[in-house]
Amino acid sequence: MSVALVTLCVATASAATEKVIYSFQAGTDGAYPLAALVADANGHLYGTTQGGGTGACKVAPPPGGCGTVFELAPPAAAGEAWVESVIYRFTGGGDGANPWAGLIFDQSGNLYGTAEFGGQSENGVVFELTPPPTTGGAWSETVLYAFKGHRHGDGANPQAGLVFDSHGNLFGTTYAGGIPCSDSAPSGCGTIFELTPPTAPGGAWTEQLIYKFDPSFAGGPASVLVLDASGNLYGTAVNDGALGEGTAYKLSPSGSAWTRTVLHTFGGSGDGGYVYAGLIFGKGGNLYGATTGFGGQVGNGGTVFELARPTTGTAWKETLLTVFPGENGVTEGPWSSLLSSKAGALYGATSSGGGGDCVTSGGWHGCGFVFQLTPPAAPGSAWTETTLYSFQGSPDGAVPYSGLAFGFGHRIYGTTSAGGSGTCFQNGLSGCGTVFEIVP
């Protein structure tokens, strides 16, 4: 491992401006968005909330509800407000409950996602949302697969989104299920699954577990997968590896079987740990990601790293691009995948730290911030970290767990899980969450 640069999250802030384009109110509109947004060709934004909506769920933070899928339509004219519409409210029954992950589109405009709970066995579902045939009509939800849990040799509790391959198959991860890990984690170490579409209209999707994490590494895949042109899958697992602080891995198809190769094991000195965030590809086929905390040299605040593709052999080389200080020893690394620009800059959000005054019941300090990492102008030089915006809690939002997305005009969009003008109160934080826009 080599450390390219150790920077502090007190880097000079840019002239970026932040605007809350929607503040959840804890009613039927939803509460606690945790996932990144996805945009359609018209600039409409789509996302999920873990709570709010309707239904009575086993896992329902105040004010309750089983979660929603929402749409935000951009202003019709300058100065007007974005318009939020809830396109689906989970009931907590067979349709699923409490989605953690974001959504993806297919070529026909259907949305696909996962819900962590609900389903026939309360182990979560994969769902499809079909747009209405006429403007103003209702979207319809179809459960493509309901997980059965480790007792049936199946996955459970998907926390990450999905990815399509070129044949229309869906791939994803479940945080639990599969092989029981230990007495303290009997629900399973997690799985990687493939869903194959039906061969005839009206048929069922077919699920296959292509990998089960085992107790020797302990697993815990919580991130979305990425796919390369050869059909290999890349991902991270939170509790995986010899040190129990996570791994980055590659899953390669070989006939009907898949083989996993560990690209990097986290938890070494100054190396970062607990990789909730997924991986993304950058220039040259290198992988970029983030660790949430632990092992980053200053205060265990987390890291952003690069994994360089090997020129010979199989060993990938890890380089730290930045290390977050972790104010008062508190974890503040990103929980979701980074965003990359065409110029190679990286963008992300941290769940704590920054200049805001948020202290939760868990002891976090700071309300989180959005950062930019600019690649070096010359080989071997350091990346430059810039804080684009530091959240203040209210009314602008607090504790962003989500990744970021680009919109029109290179604007950046994301969600915060708390803050805003809503009346929720959880873990010492007020507000039901927001959707925000940042103009760099």
The Cα–Cα gap between 190 and 51 comes to: 24
Q: What is the pTM of this model?
A: 0.93
Cβ atoms 357, 393 nearer than 8 A: yes
Q: Which residues, 6+ apart, have CB-to-CB distance to 42 below 8 Å?
A: 74
CB distance 236 to 223 below 8 Å: yes
Q: If DSSP codes are grouped into helix, strand and coil, which group holds residue 359?
A: strand
Q: Are 388 and 440 in contact (CB under 8 A)?
A: yes
Rg (CA), the chain: 20
- Where b means 16+ CB within 10 Å and e means fewer, 399-432 reads bbbbbbbeeeeeebbbbbbbbbebebebeebbbb
**Amino acid 5: pLDDT:** 39
The pLDDT profile of the chain, 440 residues, written as one tens digit per residue, is 333 433 433 445 556 899 999 999 988 899 999 999 999 999 999 999 999 998 778 666 667 889 999 999 999 898 899 999 999 999 999 999 999 999 999 999 999 999 999 999 999 999 999 999 888 889 999 999 999 999 999 999 999 999 999 999 999 999 999 998 876 567 899 999 999 999 998 899 999 999 999 988 889 999 999 999 999 999 999 999 988 889 999 999 988 899 999 999 998 667 888 899 999 999 888 999 999 886 555 556 789 999 998 887 777 999 999 988 766 555 578 999 999 999 999 999 998 888 788 876 556 678 999 999 999 988 878 999 999 999 998 889 999 999 999 998 789 999 999 999 998 888 778 899 999 999 98
Question: In this structure, are residues 367 and 393 in contact, taking their beta carbons and an 8 Å threshold?
Answer: yes
Look at residue 328 in the predicted model and tell me its pLDDT. Answer: 56
Helix/strand/coil for 249: strand
Give me 301's structure tokens: 């605040």
- Spell 241-270 as b/e; 16+ CB within 10 A means b: beebbbbbbbbeeeeeebebebbbbbbeee
For 291, other C-beta atoms within 10 Å of its C-beta total 33
Give the CA dihedral 126, 276, 236, 343, nearest 10 degrees.
Answer: 100
What separation in angstroms does the CA of 387 have from each of 19, 271, 324, 368?
A: 16, 22, 12, 10
How many angstroms from the chain centroid is the CA of residue 142?
Answer: 23
List domains and CATH numbers for the chain: 2-439 (2.130.10.10)
113 near 102, Cβ under 8 Å? yes
Using alpha carbons, select from 249, 258, 257, 334 the residue that is nearest to residue 292. 334
